[in-house]
Chain A
Amino acid sequence: MMQEQKARKTGYRIIRYSPWLVHFNTGACNGCDIEVLASITPLYDPERFGVKLSPSIRHGDILVVTGAVTKKAADRLKRLYDQMPCPKFVVAVGACAIDGGVFSKSYSVVGGADKVVPVAIYIPGCPPRPEAILDGLVKLLTALREEEVQNNGCS
């Protein structure tokens, strides 16, 4: 038990220096995608926090979910989440990923990423500004430093 906790703390400490993002579009309107893309450009530059888009899901620490989770994408989202190494955190970006947004009534939409995977931070907005996305990431990193995050998906 103690060992597990210690391992978790070590994991948090390592991640918070340089968490790598993986971006997955689960049926978004591209609005959030271009804002996630815009937030890695020079004006916002999250590499100051060590945050960087990772090439593969197996290198990622933070999964950025955009879009109303459609039934087909829900399978993929679960599979991607399982492939990520521990500890792992999910950030739901935009109204659609949080609660389904305007699509919540559609029968092809599961409605909300937290119905499929545990979500650590919600970033509201339609779409959220890049600053809001950075704000969410900074809040997640702060929570990591204080070891307050619950939904790491492994324990």
Chain B
Amino acid sequence: MDVAEKLKLLEDFALEKSVLKPNRKLFVVEPSYVRRIFESLIEKLGHGGFYLSTIVGTDLKEENKIRLDYYVVMLPEEETVVIRTFLPRENPVIDSLIDIIPGALAGECETYDLLGVVFRGNPFLKRGFFVPTDVSEKGIYPLRKDSGV
């Protein structure tokens, strides 16, 4: 299976496509599709065919959204693709990937603790894993732009 065919898998779900510098294919998808995309990736490529590199959460205060980027590296060509989704800022909830990709744990715990994105189905989410208790008890997520810390 070459790169074009692998990207075809993602294109079926994409709302829009663009390119992130330098030359990373970016697919914007619905939040509810994220888990299904990864399931189909596992089905088509197997666990050895790709790895989840990073989950980046960004607080877009002006648009009242939280943006979630999943960076996936396709093996063996090492093609980095970005799966981008937007969540509402008030109640950001998305399905967890932890039961199908164990490597997602680090990124999910971090994003929950710092940005408050709830990954539904991840039993390890916990406030105060990174953030000190005096901050987390106030319900402040430090990487949000209005956190004030």
Direct chain A–B contact by Cβ atoms under 8 Å: yes
Residues of B contacting A108 with CB < 8 Å? 132
A71 at the A/B interface (Cβ < 8 Å)? yes
Using a CB-CB cutoff of 8 Å, which residues 122-146 of chain B contact chain A?
Answer: 132
Q: How far is it, in angstroms, between the C-alpha of A6 and the C-alpha of B132 when the chains are bound?
A: 46
Closest residue of chain A to B142 (Cβ to Cβ) is A107
Q: How far is it, in angstroms, between the C-alpha of A107 and the C-alpha of B132 when the chains are bound?
A: 11
Q: How far is it, in angstroms, between the C-alpha of A71 and the C-alpha of B149 when the chains are bound?
A: 15
Q: Is the interface of A mostly helix, strand, loop or mixed?
A: loop
Closest residue of chain B to A71 (Cβ to Cβ) is B132
The size bracket of the interface on B is: under 10
Closest residue of chain B to A72 (Cβ to Cβ) is B132
Residues of A contacting B149 with CB < 8 Å? 107
Interface size on A, residues (CB 8 A): 3
Closest residue of chain A to B130 (Cβ to Cβ) is A108
Q: How far is it, in angstroms, between the C-alpha of A81 and the C-alpha of B132 when the chains are bound?
A: 24
Minimum C-beta distance from B110 to chain A (A): 15
Minimum C-beta distance from A83 to chain B (A): 25
Minimum C-beta distance from B136 to chain A (A): 13
> Digit string of A58-85 for contact with B (CB within 8 Å is 1, else 0)?
0000000000000100000000000000
Q: How far is it, in angstroms, between the C-alpha of A146 and the C-alpha of B132 when the chains are bound?
A: 45
Minimum C-beta distance from B146 to chain A (A): 16
Residues of A contacting B132 with CB < 8 Å? 71, 108
Q: How far is it, in angstroms, between the C-alpha of A130 and the C-alpha of B116 when the chains are bound?
A: 44
Using a CB-CB cutoff of 8 Å, which residues 95-149 of chain A contact chain B?
Answer: 107-108
Minimum C-beta distance from B114 to chain A (A): 13
Q: How far is it, in angstroms, between the C-alpha of A147 and the C-alpha of B149 when the chains are bound?
A: 45
Residues of B contacting A71 with CB < 8 Å? 132
Minimum C-beta distance from A69 to chain B (A): 15
Minimum C-beta distance from A81 to chain B (A): 23
Minimum C-beta distance from B17 to chain A (A): 38
Minimum C-beta distance from B32 to chain A (A): 36
Q: How far is it, in angstroms, between the C-alpha of A108 and the C-alpha of B132 when the chains are bound?
A: 9
Closest residue of chain A to B131 (Cβ to Cβ) is A108
Minimum C-beta distance from A105 to chain B (A): 12
Minimum C-beta distance from B65 to chain A (A): 26
Q: How far is it, in angstroms, between the C-alpha of A71 and the C-alpha of B130 when the chains are bound?
A: 13
3 closest A-B pairs by beta carbon, nearest first, are A107-B149, A71-B132, A108-B132
3 CB contacts below 8 A, A to B, read A71-B132, A107-B149, A108-B132
A interface list, Cβ under 8 A from B: 71, 107-108
